[in-house]
Amino acid sequence: MTEVLFDTSAYSALGRGHRGATAVASSADRIVVTPVVVGELLAGFKRGKHARRNQELLRKFLASPRVEVVPVDSDTAERYAAIVDSLRAAGRSIPTNDVWIASSAMQHGLPLVTADAHFHGVPQILVHPLGPV
């Protein structure tokens, strides 16, 4: 069984028909997203010209039996703290929301599908890079 966690950039790439994102999505038995990803997407839709259409596409995506929104909970928070500590020790930082997304990937033991290179600096997770989007 293939299971992955999509970040915001992966979902966006999928929506634009990116080959890598499409290949991962079609071969995955389970695609996980977090409330942080859903929130980033909804916030982005509010600034766009096609908010209603984008919200409907997201609703359909989330309704798929292969897609699951996992909660952010106290276990996620423990991993968040570990990742932040590790990044600080390495003299690195990434956006706060991305630390939460990485924490969920770590918690659930899932590879993170992303177009964002800064996730490679998080040693606690496996990154499935999409390449240019």
Query: Which tens digits make up the pLDDT trace of 48-101?
Result: 899 999 999 999 999 999 999 999 999 999 999 999 999 999 999 999 999 999
114/8 Cα distance (integer angstroms): 8
pLDDT band of residue 133 (cuts 50, 70, 90) is: low
40/20 Cα distance (integer angstroms): 21
The predicted pLDDT at position 48 comes to 85
Q: Write down the CATH superfamily of domain 3-129.
A: 5'-nuclease (3.40.50.1010)
Residue ranges per structural domain of the chain: 3-129
Paired with 113 in beta bridges are 6, 128
3-state helix, strand, coil in the chain (%, to 5): 60, 15, 30
First to last CA, the chain: 26
**pLDDT > 70: what percent of the chain?**
98
Helix axes 35-47, 51-63, angle to 10 degrees: 160
pLDDT band of residue 1 (cuts 50, 70, 90) is: low
Whether 15 contacts 120, CB under 8 Å: no
The predicted pLDDT at position 44 comes to 95
Express each pLDDT in 100-110 by its tens digit: 999 999 999 99
63/60 Cα distance (integer angstroms): 5
The alpha carbon of 42 is separated from its chain's Cα centroid by a whole number of angstroms, namely 14
Tokens of 81: 């703290």
